[in-house]
Amino acid sequence: MVKVGIPRGLYYYKYSTLWENFFTELGAEIVISDKTNKNILLEGASKCVSEACLPIKAYYGHVINLLGKADYIFLPRLTSISQKQYICPEVAGVQDMIRNSVKVLPRIIDTEINLRKSEKNSWKAALYTGGFLTNDKEKIKNAYKNALGAYRNERQVMKSGVLMDEFKQEIGSMPLRVIQKRSTNITVAVLGHCYTVYDTFINMELIRKLKDYGIGVVTLDMLDYQESKQRSRELDKMLFWDYGTRAYGGTIQLIENGGIDGVIAITSFGCGVDSFVIELVEKKIRSESDIPFMKLVLDEHSAEAGFCTRLEAFVDMIIRRGSYENNVSSFR
């Protein structure tokens, strides 16, 4: 059986269900790299240019982790995942960066995914990708149709308030009903790219820590993307980046829908996209609401002790605000 390796990084955290179902239905054995850990990150950082952000360095490490384990490695070139919007150039270029610096790679499935003009282009991408495994176009189309169905179902469930980890039931061995329990009525929105929000090593288990405080968590995946796109039109110029639209339009939804007691934006050191998107988000929150906002910047040198101290102070402040309505902290 042909083995297809998929690095557990970047957009794997959005499309894992789609990709895994697709390759499996085409008869491949899927090999996913290990969960991000210290070695993966160190390996990745040692091969990658130092200017790259943490998620890109981790992605390198995941590719290295797959070496010798698969016949192919799936390294899609993601240029755009939604109409008229782009993905960060580091994601679009990571395939070339890896080819250039990791010398003994197996065969690469180098699909270009560019949905800027039309979402129908995803079918072309599927035919190209499936072509590495079979010449049977009907089989590829069916596999993609079924995988797309599974992916859309997952998205729908997440929109109803279920986190990705909960959906996949991957938080330890806890069953879903235990994970969803909360002991406070506090809800915090965690804004960030899927690969920073769901990679528990990169974000030092932020979501698990919030859950341990008994806090409910909202992510951008729980908000309506079309609505975010619509709401982002209030800006003089539509945002260029898919993530910018999701984060800015999502922030407007969070403010208007109410029920959010705090917003945490997690961002990676040196991220060009976040440098202005998070600025816009922060301005919006501070000018149109009294929701406390905190930005956490991550890189490979981030220390967990400092991270926990800031998180604890933020949570304490939210709890105190609940008791003393006028106690508005300097976090605002």
Residue 37's nearest CA partner among 247, 176, 164, 204 is 204
Q: How far is the CB of 154 from ligand SF4 (least distance, A)?
A: 22
Cβ nearer to ligand SF4, comparing 67 with 97: 97
**CB under 6 A: which stretch of 85-93, 95-103, 133-141, 145-153 binds ligand SF4?**
85-93
Q: What's phi and psi for 231, nearest 5 deg?
A: -70, -30
Asked if 90 interacts with ligand SF4 (CB under 6 A), we say: yes
Contact mark string toward ligand SF4, 234..273, x via CB under 6 A: ----------------------------------x--xxx
Residue 95's nearest CA partner among 118, 73, 69 is 73
Asked if 298 interacts with ligand SF4 (CB under 6 A), we say: no
Residue of 41, 70, 88, 239 that binds ligand SF4 (CB under 6 A): 88
**CB under 6 A: which stretch of 40-48, 51-59, 215-223, 298-306 binds ligand SF4?**
51-59
Contact mark string toward ligand SF4, 144..173, x via CB under 6 A: ------------------------------
Cβ nearer to ligand SF4, comparing 55 with 61: 55
CA atoms in the 13 A half-sphere facing the CB of 9:
31
Q: How many C-beta atoms lie closer than 10 Å to residue 290's C-beta?
A: 9
Cβ(3)–Cβ(31) below 8 Å: yes
H or E, element range at 195: helix 194-197
Q: How far is the CB of 139 from ligand SF4 (least distance, A)?
A: 34
Q: What's phi and psi for 65, nearest 5 deg?
A: -60, -25
Residue of 162, 254, 274, 314 that binds ligand SF4 (CB under 6 A): 274
Q: What's phi and psi for 63, nearest 5 deg?
A: -65, -45
Q: Per CB under 6 A, which of residues 179..208 are in contact with ligand SF4?
A: 193
Residue of 18, 26, 48, 56 that binds ligand SF4 (CB under 6 A): 56
DSSP state of 68: T
Cβ nearer to ligand SF4, comparing 48 with 53: 53
27-66 burial: b if 16+ Cβ within 10 Å, else e: ebebbbbeebeeebbebbbebbeeebbbbbbbbbbbbbbb
**Binding site residues, ligand SF4, CB under 6 A:** 53, 55-56, 88, 90-91, 193, 268, 271-274
